[in-house]
């Protein structure tokens, strides 16, 4: 990859990562140009102007792009666009923002977290543990400030980074000291030629540059992960976490009865799962992954235990909203795929009125059927097109009602509920048919609950 002063760096896409890469590039002496096919957010425009970085929006001027020495591509840009086809045909070097940031990270260390579900929770929890232990650490990547911007503006000794498969698609030398792969279930297949194996390979790229001094933390209960390991070699030290009591791990994370264990270098940290502030099996997986990573990073077990007990979960992830007339309302708007709804339902202990639906990414709802049968008394659909949900659950649940806004969905669920029930917004779908994004959906849900 080219480095060096006065070379031309072109950034495609002026979102958080693109603007971060532009700032870092400028600081490192590159001649930077930012090009965005859509409108650039006003606050980002101000940042670019203040840093005297040239940019265009609403289209791409190809002759200003193809003359780049290096292109940093936003993770949102699909390879199949005309823009990327031309860039690839020209043979310009392309990298992702984490790859670009990596070059300038100095001696700092990286804990990089990926997976289909649980990235944000694990990233935030890991960062919380390191902070509690007094580390000089920043949380970067998809969950806030971009890695590149953090390096440009406030470099740290440790970075805990949430990364998506799209960011991994354009890495070259990126090598985390500790990589975490939480789970792999089908998601975003539209970007991977509808081939699950391509998506799996992309997730495993988190470990491709690692060596035997690095660590890869993995979910032993995930058959996709285990099958991949049977056929591919990993150069780093692997360390697992599991909930399956049959798996005996000398080292790693496991649950025995009601106790969570994190065993590393002959030291066993154990605590009751009831002392974790975040509930449900999925959060126990995330906690084991975060705890192991922190132990590898050198955090003492007492500090980890203390951090687990003081951690607050994230907004829109099984977030308690209110109890009204004995009916509990939970906002899990971030559940944008079937697997995360499975875990949400799994953790429910009361009869559920489930608010489901939105923009369907080709969901297969069948794996939810047993849990829906056992726990769900009614489904409230909240989407423009609810056909797939009706098809999947007709005959499984007696009451399936269509609604088309958060207010309508909340009022309908409330009318169906009785004291002791829980209304769970866990949509299994993207939100873009009715809302700006999943945060907007979650907030509108919460506002509607509070207005009851
Ligand atoms: P991501 O950043 O990968 O989207 P989040 O932490 O934001 O993950 O959680 C997304 C959704 O997945 C939420 O509904 C959350 O309750 C659920 N979830 C969290 N951890 C896991 C896990 N380990 N397995 C399955 N679902 C999970």
State in Å: Cα 378 to ligand 1 middle: 23
- Tell me if 378 is assigned to some domain: yes
Tell the residue nearest (CA) to atom 8 of ligand 1. 118
Question: Residue 410 maps to which CATH number?
Answer: 3.90.190.20
Tell the residue nearest (CA) to atom 24 of ligand 1. 282
- From 188, 242, 290, 343, the mutation candidate for ligand 1 (largest count of ligand atoms within 8 A of CB) is 343
State in Å: Cα 278 to ligand 1 middle: 12
State in Å: Cα 119 to ligand 1 middle: 7
Question: Residue 182 maps to which CATH number?
Answer: 3.40.1190.10
User: Do 108 and 189 fall within a single domain?
Assistant: yes
Tell the residue nearest (CA) to atom 15 of ligand 1. 317
Of 428, 230, 446, 179, the residue nearest 331 (C-alpha)? 446
For 79, list phi and psi in degrees, rounded to 5.
-60, -25
Distance between CA 245 and CA 250 in Å, rounded? 13
Tell the residue nearest (CA) to atom 7 of ligand 1. 120
* Residue 230 CB burial class (10 angstroms; 0-12, 13-18, ≥19): exposed
User: Do 288 and 323 fall within a single domain?
Assistant: no
- Tell me if 81 is assigned to some domain: yes
Q: What residues line ligand 1, using a CB cutoff of 6 Å? A: 115, 117-121, 182-183, 282, 285-286, 317-318, 332, 334-335, 339-340, 343-344
User: Do 104 and 240 fall within a single domain?
Assistant: yes
Q: Is the dihedral of CA 330, 335, 336, 340 positive or negative?
A: negative
Of 447, 441, 358, 432, the residue nearest 402 (C-alpha)? 358
Question: Residue 66 maps to which CATH number?
Answer: 3.40.50.720
- Tell me if 1 is assigned to some domain: no
For 262, list phi and psi in degrees, rounded to 5.
-125, 110
Geometric angle at alpha carbon 126, from 122 and 129, rounded to 5° = 140
Report the atom number in ligand 1 closest to the C-alpha of 122.
6
User: Do 27 and 150 fall within a single domain?
Assistant: no
State in Å: Cα 335 to ligand 1 middle: 7
Tell the residue nearest (CA) to atom 17 of ligand 1. 340
User: Do 288 and 338 fall within a single domain?
Assistant: no
Distance between CA 349 and CA 325 in Å, rounded? 18
User: Do 192 and 152 fall within a single domain?
Assistant: yes
State in Å: Cα 117 to ligand 1 middle: 4
User: Do 186 and 272 fall within a single domain?
Assistant: yes
Beta strands in 244-331 (DSSP E): 252-256, 259-264, 267-272, 319-324, 327-331
- Cα distances from 246 to residues 25, 113, 254, 445, in angstroms, run 50, 26, 10, 41
Tokens linked to 315: 């907004």
Supply the pLDDT for residue 187: 67
State in Å: Cα 121 to ligand 1 middle: 7
Supply the pLDDT for residue 246: 79
pLDDT one digit per residue (tens) for the chain, 452 residues: 545 567 999 999 999 999 999 999 999 999 999 999 999 999 999 999 999 999 999 999 999 999 999 999 998 898 889 999 999 999 999 999 999 999 999 999 999 999 989 999 999 999 999 999 999 999 999 888 999 999 999 999 999 999 988 889 899 999 999 999 999 986 666 666 667 788 888 899 999 999 999 999 999 999 999 999 999 999 999 999 999 887 778 899 999 999 999 999 989 999 999 888 888 899 999 999 999 999 999 999 999 999 999 998 889 999 999 999 999 999 999 999 999 999 999 999 999 999 999 998 788 999 999 999 999 999 999 999 999 999 999 999 999 999 999 999 999 999 999 999 999 999 999 998 899 999 999 999 999 999 99
Report the atom number in ligand 1 closest to the C-alpha of 344.
16
State in Å: Cα 313 to ligand 1 middle: 11
Supply the pLDDT for residue 196: 78
- Cα distances from 199 to residues 116, 159, 185, 188, in angstroms, run 10, 25, 9, 8
- From 164, 188, 277, 317, the mutation candidate for ligand 1 (largest count of ligand atoms within 8 A of CB) is 317
User: Do 173 and 267 fall within a single domain?
Assistant: yes
Report the atom number in ligand 1 closest to the C-alpha of 115.
3
Question: In 3-state terms, the chain is what percent helix, strand and coil (to 5)?
Answer: 40, 25, 40
Supply the pLDDT for residue 81: 93
- Tell me if 305 is assigned to some domain: yes
Residue where one domain finishes, among candidates 95, 130, 157: 95
User: Do 378 and 233 fall within a single domain?
Assistant: no
Alpha helices in 323-368 (DSSP H): 338-346
Of 400, 422, 404, 397, the residue nearest 332 (C-alpha)? 422
User: Do 343 and 263 fall within a single domain?
Assistant: no
Tokens linked to 418: 């009785």
Domains contained in the chain, number:
3
> Cα 32 vs. chain centroid, distance in angstroms?
29
* Residue 408 CB burial class (10 angstroms; 0-12, 13-18, ≥19): middle
- Tell me if 2 is assigned to some domain: no
Tell the residue nearest (CA) to atom 19 of ligand 1. 118
Supply the pLDDT for residue 380: 98
- From 282, 442, 445, the mutation candidate for ligand 1 (largest count of ligand atoms within 8 A of CB) is 282
Tokens linked to 400: 């399936």
Distance between CA 381 and CA 355 in Å, rounded? 6
Supply the pLDDT for residue 165: 80
- From 117, 316, 430, the mutation candidate for ligand 1 (largest count of ligand atoms within 8 A of CB) is 117
Type and span of the H or E element at 89: helix 82-90
Residue where one domain finishes, among candidates 288, 310, 332: 310
CB 36 within 8 Å of CB 83: no
Alpha helices in 232-280 (DSSP H): none
- Cα distances from 22 to residues 37, 70, 263, 338, in angstroms, run 16, 12, 42, 36
- Tell me if 189 is assigned to some domain: yes
User: Do 396 and 247 fall within a single domain?
Assistant: no
State in Å: Cα 21 to ligand 1 middle: 27
Domain span at residue 18? 8-95
Task: Say how many C-beta atoms besides its own lie within 10 A of residue 376's C-beta.
Answer: 22
State in Å: Cα 118 to ligand 1 middle: 3
Residue where one domain finishes, among candidates 310, 344, 375: 310
Question: Among all chains, which residue has been given the structure tokens 């799994």?
Answer: 346
Supply the pLDDT for residue 75: 86
DSSP state of 394: B
pTM over 0.85: yes
- Tell me if 3 is assigned to some domain: no
State in Å: Cα 340 to ligand 1 middle: 6
Tokens linked to 423: 């209304």
State in Å: Cα 431 to ligand 1 middle: 16
State the number of CA atoms in the 13 A half-sphere of 218 facing the CB: 23
User: Do 272 and 169 fall within a single domain?
Assistant: yes
- Tell me if 153 is assigned to some domain: yes
Tokens linked to 66: 């193809």
State in Å: Cα 283 to ligand 1 middle: 8
Report the atom number in ligand 1 closest to the C-alpha of 285.
23
């Amino acid at each position: 990859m080219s480095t060096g002063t006065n070379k031309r760096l072109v950034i495609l896409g002026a979102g958080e990562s693109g603007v971060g890469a532009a700032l870092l590039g400028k600081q490192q002496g590159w001649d930077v140009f930012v090009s965005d096919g859509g409108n650039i957010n006003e606050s980002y425009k101000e940042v670019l102007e203040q840093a005297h970085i040239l940019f265009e929006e609403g289209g791409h001027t190809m002759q200003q792009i193809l003359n780049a020495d290096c292109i940093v591509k936003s993770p949102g840009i699909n390879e199949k666009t005309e823009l990327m086809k031309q860039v690839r045909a020209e043979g310009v070097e392309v990298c992702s923002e984490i790859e670009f940031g990596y070059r300038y990270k100095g001696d700092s260390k990286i804990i990089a977290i990926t997976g289909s579900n649980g990235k944000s929770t694990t990233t935030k929890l890991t960062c919380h543990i390191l902070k509690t232990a007094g580390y000089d650490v920043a949380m970067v990547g998809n969950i806030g400030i971009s890695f590149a911007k953090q390096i440009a503006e406030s470099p740290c000794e440790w970075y805990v980074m949430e990364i998506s498969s799209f960011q991994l698609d354009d890495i070259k030398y990126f090598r985390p000291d500790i990589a975490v792969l939480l789970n792999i279930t089908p998601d975003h297949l539209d970007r991977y030629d509808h081939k699950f194996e391509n998506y799996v390979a992309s997730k495993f790229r988190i470990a491709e540059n690692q060596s035997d001094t690095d660590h890869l933390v993995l979910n032993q209960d995930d058959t996709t992960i285990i099958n991949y390991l049977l056929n591919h070699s990993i150069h780093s030290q692997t360390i697992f976490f599991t909930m399956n009591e049959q798996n005996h791990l000398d080292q790693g994370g496991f649950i025995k009865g009601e106790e969570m264990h994190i065993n590393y270098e002959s030291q066993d940290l154990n605590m009751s799962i009831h002392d974790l502030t975040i509930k449900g099996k999925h959060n126990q997986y995330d906690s084991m992954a975060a705890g192991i990573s922190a132990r590898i990073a050198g955090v003492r077990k007492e500090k980890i235990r203390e951090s687990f007990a003081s951690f607050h979960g994230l907004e829109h992830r099984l977030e308690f909203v209110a109890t009204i007339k004995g009916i509990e309302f939970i906002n899990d708007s971030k559940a944008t795929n079937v697997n995360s709804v499975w875990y949400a339902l799994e953790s429910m202990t009361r009869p559920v009125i489930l608010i489901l639906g939105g923009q369907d990414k080709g969901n297969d709802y069948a794996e939810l059927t047993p849990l829906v049968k056992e726990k769900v008394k009614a489904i409230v659909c909240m989407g423009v097109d609810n056909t797939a949900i009706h098809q999947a659950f007709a005959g499984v649940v007696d009451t399936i009602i269509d609604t088309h806004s958060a207010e309508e969905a909340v009022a309908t669920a409330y009318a169906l509920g009785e004291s002791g029930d829980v209304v769970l917004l866990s949509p299994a779908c993207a939100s873009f048919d009715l809302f700006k994004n999943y945060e907007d959906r979650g907030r509108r849900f919460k506002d509607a609950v509070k207005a009851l």
